[in-house]
Amino acid sequence: MDKKLIAICVVLSAIALATIGPLWWDGATYIGMGKYLWSGGTSGLWEDSRPLVWPLLLGVIWKMGLPPVESSQGLAFIFALGCVVMTYLIGKKMRNERVGLIAALLVSFTPVFLRFSTRPLSEIPSTFFILLSVYFVLKNKAGLAGLFAGLACMTRFLQLLPALILGIWIVFKRNPEQKKSNGSALKGVASIKYSARFLVCFLLPVIPYLVFNLINYGNALHPFLVQIEMTRLTGWPWHGPWWWYLKELPWENFLLLLSIPATWIAFKKKTDLRLLSVIGFVSLIVYSLIAQKEQRFLLVFLPFLALLAASALPKNKLSHSLLIGAFLVQSLIVFPLLSPGVAVPDFNLPSEGRVWVSSPLVVARVDNPATPVYYSVFSVEKAWEISALNGAPLVISECDLLCRPGDSACDIEKEKLFSALAKKATVLENGDCPYLIIS
């Protein structure tokens, strides 16, 4: 491996591991689901709207007896390093070593990547699988490309978008098997066989998931439908305008703006960089059209924009060095401004027995089976359900249960609920968001 790439990974490791933040909501959910899967439901929690690859991987860590939180952060960072290495390899394959190194540098030290590289969320692992798929497309390995595209989708549903783009690229791009065939008919057969290999391997991780859904929910598409409904009904605290990412990208890394002229050049010269352009900018457009906006969603198209930007960076050594230096200064300024998250206290719960929780963070460090009272949407009816628990073990915070804006009936029921619970619960202080514990 290139010594400069190793140096980038070493510096990234030092910064990321020295600034590990607390566990986030979704990361705790994946840990809880991993426990549920590997215990047969006797530990952890379940959310039916999520794909299973990441929970399965995190569950293996727990099943091995390793501390689930710290080990999941370590595994997340391994995938982050994998993203950096794959970015380098793709850049080297499509252009040269210089482009690969610059792209790896741009990914590694973009503040949002630094901040989230140790968080066990689905964006970075799924992006790693998509980058692997792109790499194998470039290597003309349709089967492996399809397999990793399928794994990406089963890690994060929205990775279906780049997977579709890769599939279309394979269909229309001249492949090695066509070059070996003589005659238009034989070339057509070769193209179909090559494309079919991608599709069949793509379906290898997808079909078991669809069968799992059919057995458990009676509908193979159940999680996708639930996810669509939740996207419509939740996430309003993070809603933003369509141009939110256009503002956020240059704030994170101004050199990413070079991906725009790089795209124009790629289409003008009809180079393979068009593949990266389509994946990067179509993903950006789709995420911009989704109401919920978060910094971490930048991670799914960051490597593609970084590769494009690296290809457009001036080759003049002085200009090149000044621009890279300015980016590193920007990163040093912006990185400390990103929220590290809020630490969650330890919950002293009985070692056995089901507990009802308003946050998946509760089950990250305990092995009790848990029922999430926050899932899928908090409402008047959900408040009534919690009230009806009648003293069952419960860990709950007002900050976790948000009524939809304008739902005054929900606000009233929520106030009644917490007033009643406060009379019989132990209070666990947690800044502005104390937890009420009934055990």
- pLDDT tens for 361-370 read 999 888 999 9
| Per-residue confidence (pLDDT) for residue 186, from 0 to 100 | 46
Helix (H, G, I), strand (E, B) or coil at 120: coil
Question: Could you tell me the sign of the dihedral formed by the alpha carbons of 292, 335, 68, 354, in that order?
Answer: negative
Question: In 270-407, where does DSSP find H-type helix?
Answer: 273-289, 302-312, 317-334, 380-387
Tokens 């850049």 sit on residue: 91
Domain ranges in the chain? Answer: 3-337, 355-438
Q: How far apart are CA 102 and CA 111, in angstroms?
A: 16
Quote the DSSP letter at residue 406. Answer: T
Q: How far apart are CA 277 and CA 373, in angstroms?
A: 42
- pLDDT tens for 286-297 read 999 999 999 999
Region class of 407: left (phi > 0), else alpha (psi between -120 and 50), else beta: beta
State phi, psi for 121 to the nearest 5 degrees: -100, 170
Could you please report the per-residue DSSP string of 196-218? HHHHHHHHHHHHHHHHHHHHHHS
Helix (H) or strand (E) holding 13: helix 3-18
As beta bridge partners, residue 435 has 428
Displacement of CA 188 from its chain's centroid (Å): 37
Q: What is the largest CA-CA distance in the chain?
A: 82
**Shortest CA distance to 435 belongs to which of 346, 372, 365, 354?**
346
Query: Contact at 8 Å (CB) between 292 and 344?
Result: no
Helix, strand, coil tally for the chain in percent (to 5): 65, 5, 30
Mean pLDDT, the chain cut into blocks of 10 residues (439 residues total): 83 87 92 96 96 97 94 96 97 94 95 94 98 96 97 97 95 68 53 89 98 96 93 88 95 96 94 96 96 95 97 87 92 85 73 89 90 90 91 91 92 94 90 88
| Per-residue confidence (pLDDT) for residue 184, from 0 to 100 | 54
Written as one letter, the residue type at 362 is V
Q: How far apart are CA 35 and CA 55, in angstroms?
A: 8
Q: How far apart are CA 73 and CA 65, in angstroms?
A: 15
| Per-residue confidence (pLDDT) for residue 234, from 0 to 100 | 87
Could you please report the per-residue DSSP string of 13-49? HHHHHHT--PPPHHHHHHHHHHHHHHHTTSSB---TT
Q: How far apart are CA 299 and CA 304, in angstroms?
A: 10
Helix (H, G, I), strand (E, B) or coil at 394: strand
